[in-house]
Chains A and B, each alone.
Chain A
Amino acid sequence: MNTYIAIVFSSDDKAHQALRKLWQMDDEGLLTVHGAAVVRRDDMGHIRVADRNSDLGMRTAIGVGVGALLGLLAGPVGVAAGVAGAAALSVGAATGVGALAGAAVGATADAVTETRRENAAYESFFTLKHGQSAVVAEVSEDWTHVLDDAMHPMGGTIYRRMNNATTNAAFGENYYNGYLYPYYSEPMYG
């Protein structure tokens, strides 16, 4: 089962530990990680993508891809705003992720939170509150409980979306593939 996941944590440290754990599980053959990154929403509401500080070649690309992925994980309300945010992320990436992108994706999260009170169907959609961090990734897993059992004790909440033609259509030309690190890399914020 090929899945997009977001694992939300209350702190950066936890998210970084979770990223390490995710790749360790890959190492042990418990699941396969195709690509992963860490994002955080700061106290101002801006979404920031952690990357390797020296890796200028990847930074712009990560902005576009992860923005689209966040949009997907944010659910139907978030797809449009998330993809719009992705465009802004790519622009802002040269100097750090821009406020506009943070606002767009942040607003998405707020909208979903608001909607959740009215529609239980939104319960599973990804939200990232101020000060929270998340591991976003594409993984192949045969049993979901393996990842659940590893992340819940660390305080992570897991959100999943199937990787299929329908979900990938939401990415449009900004399909994220190629923009998440396909190996473990110590996350940093540029």
Chain B
Amino acid sequence: MTKPQTVLELARHDAQELHKKISGNVARAEQATWADVKAVQADINALGARMKTLAEDQADAVKSGIKAALTKMDAAGKLVEDKTVAGATAAKDGVKHANDAMLESVHNATTSLSAAVAAARSKLAHAIEPKKPVA
């Protein structure tokens, strides 16, 4: 439903869409594959790169939230298939673990970007707020 308007809002929107995509993969756990994981990892890494740039312009509290999310995204984006495990169940467990880690990291990304958007909107709102005349 979100209609992006600023660079921050656009990044937040993309994080929300990525969250939906991973949730969908988690929901269809039986059919989810490492190919799905790799596709999402590419999106996570791309989002992470944009967030690194955006983080630099944020206030300290917002910046620390984004950086914490980036750490998790970085870890989730590097998960690889363990080809030494035998059996379909073990393989599915690996995919599940990767999807769970990615979901958590992207959730953190979404909420940290949401905090950044809120801070930017608040700053703007107070900048245009009518000033009371000085007595």
Q: Which residues of A contact B (CB under 8 A)?
A: 2, 20, 23-24, 26-27, 29, 32-35, 52, 54-58, 140, 142-143, 177-178, 182-185
Contact = CB atoms under 8 A, between A and B. Distances in A.
Given A57-B99, A182-B16, A142 B122 contact: yes
Nearest to A27: B3
Contacts of A24: 1
B86 interface: no
Given A34-B111, A34-B118, A183-B19, A55 B5 contact: no
> How many of chain B's residues touch chain A, expressed as a range?
20 to 34
Contacts, number: 71
A183 B27 contact: no
Interface of B: 1-3, 5, 16, 19-20, 23-24, 26-29, 99-100, 103-104, 107-108, 110-111, 114-115, 117-118, 121-122, 125-126
A2 B117 CA distance: 12
A26 B99 CA distance: 28
Contacts of A56: 26-27, 29
Interface of B is mostly: helix
Nearest to A26: B2
16 contacts: A23-B1, A23-B2, A27-B1, A29-B121, A33-B114, A34-B118, A52-B27, A55-B23, A56-B27, A57-B29, A142-B121, A142-B126, A178-B111, A182-B110, A182-B111, A183-B20
Nearest to A184: B1
B118 A32 contact: yes
Given A24-B1, A183-B16, A184-B1, 9 more contacts: A26-B2, A27-B1, A27-B2, A32-B118, A35-B111, A55-B23, A182-B110, A182-B114, A185-B20
B97 to A, nearest CB: 12
A57 B16 contact: no
Nearest to B125: A142
B26 A57 contact: yes
B1 A183 contact: yes
Given A26-B2, A56-B27, A182-B114, A32 B121 contact: yes
Q: What are the 10 closest A-B residue pairs judged by CB atoms, nearest first?
A: A57-B26, A140-B118, A32-B118, A183-B16, A184-B1, A182-B110, A142-B125, A54-B27, A34-B114, A23-B1
B107 A182 contact: yes
A33 B23 CA distance: 19
B16 to A, nearest CB: 4
A132 B114 CA distance: 29
Contacts of B27: 52, 54-57
